[in-house]
């Protein structure tokens, strides 16, 4: 038996056995996703090879007027054929990813006991998604077994993840948004279910973590700044929705430290320092002995120029954790010197 980390109450369900039952179907879905990625990679590689070959031939036959004209025409046709096929495959990829998403959700539902109420069923689906989605960005999942390429496989895998970051992100979005819809469908049946609201809030935060921390982030993300701005806005929307759900949970079940920790994370990600401080002040009142909470609150006070409160936190830390107290004072000195 297990306790869901994102729920308010302990739910007595054998999730480990469920994930064991789901292991093969999830591997099958991931294998299909990799096949889709390989198909697209083969398409790009094939046309790139053709264009490279045609350009080389063109360079070495430039003195032959007739043959050069034919090669130029061939190269132009190849290039435009590539563009047309690329547009077709891009649209088809969206359809293929949606089919894979639907297939995964269907496979995830099969091992769920049918006698469970809908609220418990979505917890199973959530665990399935949280177990499956990390596979998509795991470099080990894309290892190449062909001997000549083993030496270069780490570079090839990074290249694959960079080239297909949009497809990976889109597939992650589809699965998690499908799960969001399931939660929303369940809520009218039990609108005051704390566990469902908490699970939904956790889901929004999980989705937000898929997106870049800042617009300048480039790791495995689109190079276009406008594309990153769109992702950043989606991140902010998810965090705002998470805050709404967490506020509902706090009203239904007040004084839960986990809820306020998640709210603090969301406000920090949104750059709302004043709201973040309020959440850490609540956390301090709920768990004043936690030195990590005190240290973080002290840093926030110094960042906001509330030095008296920050020094009061330092005084409290000195009596229970001298190391963190010294770190906080060093941070304070750094803030003063950087002005």
Q: Decide if pLDDT at 56 tops 90.
A: no
- pLDDT attached to residue 3: 34
Question: Residues 134-181: pLDDT tens digits?
Answer: 888 776 666 655 555 555 556 666 666 666 778 888 999 999 999 999
Question: Residues 202-233: pLDDT tens digits?
Answer: 999 999 998 876 554 555 555 567 777 888 89
- At residue 1 the predicted structure's pLDDT band, cuts being 50, 70 and 90, is very low
- pLDDT attached to residue 8: 40
Enumerate residues 6+ apart whose C-beta is below 8 A from 164.
37, 40, 41
Q: What is the mean pLDDT of the chain?
A: 83
- pLDDT attached to residue 142: 62
- pLDDT attached to residue 121: 87
Question: Residues 265-323: pLDDT tens digits?
Answer: 999 999 999 999 999 999 999 998 899 999 999 999 999 999 999 999 999 999 888 89
Question: Residues 65-118: pLDDT tens digits?
Answer: 777 787 788 888 888 888 998 888 888 989 999 999 999 999 888 888 778 888
């Amino acid at each position: 038996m297990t306790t869901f980390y994102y729920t308010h109450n302990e739910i007595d369900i054998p999730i480990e056995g469920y994930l064991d039952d789901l292991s093969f179907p999830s591997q099958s879905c991931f294998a299909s996703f990799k096949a889709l990625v390989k198909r697209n990679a083969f398409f790009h590689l094939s046309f790139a090879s053709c264009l490279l070959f045609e350009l080389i031939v063109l360079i070495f036959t430039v003195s032959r007027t007739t043959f050069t004209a034919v090669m130029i025409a061939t190269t132009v046709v190849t290039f435009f054929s590539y563009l047309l096929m690329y547009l077709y495959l891009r649209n088809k990829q969206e359809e293929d990813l949606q089919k894979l998403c639907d297939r995964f959700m269907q496979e995830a539902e099969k091992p769920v006991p049918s006698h469970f109420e809908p609220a418990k069923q979505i917890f199973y689906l959530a665990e399935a998604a949280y177990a499956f989605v990390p596979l998509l960005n795991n470099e080990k999942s894309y290892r190449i077994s062909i001997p000549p390429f083993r030496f270069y496989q780490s570079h090839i895998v990074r290249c694959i993840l960079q080239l297909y970051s949009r497809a990976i992100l889109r597939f992650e979005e589809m699965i998690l948004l499908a799960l969001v819809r399931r939660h929303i469908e369940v809520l009218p049946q039990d609108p005051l279910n704390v566990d469902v609201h908490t699970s939904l809030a956790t889901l929004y935060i999980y989705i937000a973590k898929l997106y870049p921390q800042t617009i300048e982030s480039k790791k495995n993300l689109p190079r276009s700044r406008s594309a990153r701005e769109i992702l950043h806005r989606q991140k902010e929307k998810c965090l705002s929705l998470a805050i709404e759900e967490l506020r509902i949970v706090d009203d239904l079940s007040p004084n839960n430290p986990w809820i306020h920790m998640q709210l603090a994370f969301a406000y920090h990600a949104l750059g709302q320092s004043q709201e973040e401080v309020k959440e850490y002040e609540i956390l301090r009142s709920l768990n004043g002995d936690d030195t990590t909470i005190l240290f973080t609150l002290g840093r926030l006070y110094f960042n906001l120029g509330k030095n008296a409160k920050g020094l009061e936190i330092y005084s409290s830390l000195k009596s229970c954790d001298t190391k963190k107290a010294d770190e906080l004072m060093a941070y304070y000195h750094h803030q003063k010197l950087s002005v």
